[in-house]
């Protein structure tokens, strides 16, 4: 065989390989688009062989996490002397269990006007949150239902909320720490949306509802649960900020709303600016003008950060842009968002936290 024929054969083989690779890429893109278009956002369905909580038959049992006595919780909270927060329905106290575990205890307020709402909210949280557990959620440990006392026991996050760490007077979170929080939060949302056996909409994802553990890993809380069963006569339910239950389905949110909220959270992590403020106003409106080119993206970076990795910044800005698109159907799913973050940042899910000794930069 002559050299010319050999070269022609080699070129021909290369062309075949290139064409095959191109065709494979096209098929992959078609598959992803088809998957996104065919995956319904609603209705939210229960896919496990467990009936959802029923509005007409509230109950709790040992199947729904550890049941504490009121005396046990009162002792671990030292007589409820360490108040660390408050919501519309609950006072929040810090406590330490007998095994040394630090916990955050939500004690229902005693108010006749909201008593029915408290009962619904309490049982709803116990029956659902006790079935879901994830590394990056503020998981429910147990509860107490004794006479008129209603208490929920959660994992404690000693470093406070992401909002306070970004916008308070504390030392600035490093770029690495912020990206770890982004990956952890995305992982928690992907779990709620597709991997926990149910389809759960958070409904109120903000930097206030992302707590930071001792290693600065994310602990997502305040789950605004929206669960719609395919079973007949099962009520719809939503818990906004973990408090008010709406069983009539008013103000219901979708998975794409969570994606949008995550995009806003990414912009907060990148810029260090809050989602809403007098200056620059709504962060989405302000940041959108800088998401069109790499040169402009650098303007978004928090001036307090020193060791921002440019390639990572560009990638995270692009992911944020995809998440905050006006058309909900155009936004990626949280599993796609998580995949893009992990690929762009090179952070494994088990590394969704920066070490304690990570330098502030």
Please state, in angstroms and rounded to a whole number, the distance separating the CA atoms of residues 244 and 224.
9
Phi then psi dihedrals of residue 21, to 5 deg: -65, -40
Catalytic residue among 204, 243, 246, 257: 204
Helices of type H across 172-276:
175-190, 255-271
Query: Is 204 an active-site residue?
Result: yes
What would you report as the CA-atom Rg of the chain, rounded to the nearest whole angstrom? 24
Q: CA separation (Å) from 184 to 178, 191, 217, 266, 320?
A: 10, 11, 7, 12, 15
Nearest to 236 by CA among 203, 275, 261, 260: 203
Please state, in angstroms and rounded to a whole number, the distance separating the CA atoms of residues 238 and 223.
9
What does the block give as tokens for 140?
């429910």
Q: Catalytic residue positions?
A: 204
């Amino acid at each position: 065989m002559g050299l010319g024929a050999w070269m022609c054969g080699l070129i021909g083989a290369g062309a075949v390989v290139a064409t095959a690779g191109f065709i494979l890429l096209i098929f992959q893109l078609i598959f992803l688009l088809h998957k996104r278009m065919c995956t319904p956002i609603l209705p939210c369905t229960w896919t496990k062989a467990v009936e959802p909580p029923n509005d007409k038959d509230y109950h709790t049992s040992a199947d729904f996490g550890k049941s504490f006595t009121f005396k046990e919780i009162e002792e671990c909270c030292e007589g409820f002397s360490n108040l660390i927060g408050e919501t519309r329905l609950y006072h929040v106290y810090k406590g330490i269990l007998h095994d040394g575990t630090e916990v955050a205890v939500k004690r229902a307020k005693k108010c006749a006007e909201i008593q029915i709402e408290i009962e619904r909210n309490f049982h709803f949280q116990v029956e659902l949150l006790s079935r879901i557990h994830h590394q990056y959620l503020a998981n429910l440990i147990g509860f107490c239902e004794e006479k008129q006392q209603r208490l929920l026991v959660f994992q404690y996050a000693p470093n406070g909320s992401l909002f306070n760490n970004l916008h308070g007077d504390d030392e600035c979170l490093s770029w690495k720490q912020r990206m770890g929080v982004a990956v952890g939060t995305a992982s928690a949302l992907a779990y709620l949306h597709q991997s926990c056996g149910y389809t759960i909409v958070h409904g109120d994802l903000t930097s206030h509802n992302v707590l930071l553990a001792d290693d600065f890993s994310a602990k997502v809380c305040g789950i605004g649960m929206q669960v719609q069963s395919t079973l007949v006569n099962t009520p719809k339910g939503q818990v906004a900020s973990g408090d008010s239950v709406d069983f009539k389905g008013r103000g219901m949110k979708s998975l794409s709303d969570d994606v949008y909220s995550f995009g806003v959270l990414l912009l907060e992590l990148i810029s260090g600016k809050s989602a809403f403020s007098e200056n620059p106003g709504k962060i989405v409106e302000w940041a959108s003008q800088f998401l069109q080119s790499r040169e402009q993206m650098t303007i978004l970076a928090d001036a307090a950060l020193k060791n921002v990795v440019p390639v990572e910044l560009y990638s995270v800005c692009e992911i944020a842009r995809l998440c905050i698109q006006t058309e909900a159907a155009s936004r990626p799913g949280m599993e796609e968002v998580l995949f893009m973050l992990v690929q762009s940042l090179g952070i494994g899910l088990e590394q969704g936290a920066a070490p304690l000794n990570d330098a502030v930069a």
